[in-house]
Amino acid sequence: MKYFILFGPPGAGKGTQAVALVERYNLKHISTGDVLRGEIAAGTELGKKAKALIDAGSLVPDEVVEGMIENAFNTYKDVNGFLLDGFPRTIKQAEALNEMLAKRGEELSGVISLMIPDETIFARIRHRAEVEGRQDDMKDEVIQNRIDTYHAKTEPLIEFYKNLGKYHEFNGDRGPGAEGIEKVRQSIYVEMDKL
């Protein structure tokens, strides 16, 4: 099995690229947000625990998210691997993922990191909010908070994965529209074909 992490700041194009990567490499895309919603909808024990926390306005703790990721690994057998999106977000979660994979006799295949400058993050999130009508992303201070949280909590993973020799960075801003998206995609394919 292959295990990839799709990494980058909000608005970097992870969701856009994930669709093509999943198809090309026969991977199961595991977006933590989607997994959480799925577990809640299915009424699983983990889903009930997560729903109670979310309803109370609390963050879902690492062990609940990790349990859901492990459930997904155990559930999908007809794929060549997994593309994790939104997990891990912290060093602690990254260490837990390494342990989870080691128990399975597996290891991480690679981190596919899409990088874009903060100004581009801002513009893309604001545009997406307008197109999708996402009220939560309309306010500048909300967007800035998401960017600040990414830099403080998630960005330290870059060094963590560089030290493991698993980190592969791509420029996620290769021009506007479909042409730019395709340029980014082709550069990712070149690297992933080797992993």
Measured CA to CA, the distance from residue 41 to residue 31 in angstroms comes to 15
Find the DSSP H helices in 28-114.
32-42, 45-55, 62-75, 91-103
Please report the pLDDT score of residue 94 as a whole number: 96
Give the residue carrying structure tokens 């809640």.
40
CA distance 105 to 68: 19
Rounded distance between C-alpha atoms, residue 56 and residue 49, angstroms: 11
pLDDT for 135: 67
Tally of structural domains, the chain: 1
- What are the distances in angstroms from CA 25 to CA 22, 49, 134, 141, 193? 6, 33, 31, 38, 9
Q: What is the pLDDT along the chain (195 residues), one digit of tens a residue?
A: 999 999 999 889 998 999 999 999 999 999 887 888 888 889 988 889 888 877 777 777 888 889 889 988 999 999 999 999 989 988 999 999 999 999 999 999 999 999 999 999 888 888 887 887 766 667 788 788 888 888 888 899 999 999 999 999 999 999 888 999 999 999 999 999 999
Domain of 40: which CATH number? 3.40.50.300
Structure tokens at 153: 């909590």
Total-model pTM: 0.86
Domain that holds residue 145: 2-192
pLDDT at 136: 64
- Among all residues, which ones are annotated catalytic? 14, 89, 128, 134, 146
176-184 LR contacts (CB < 8 Å, sep 24+): 181/13, 181/16, 181/17, 184/13, 184/17, 184/114
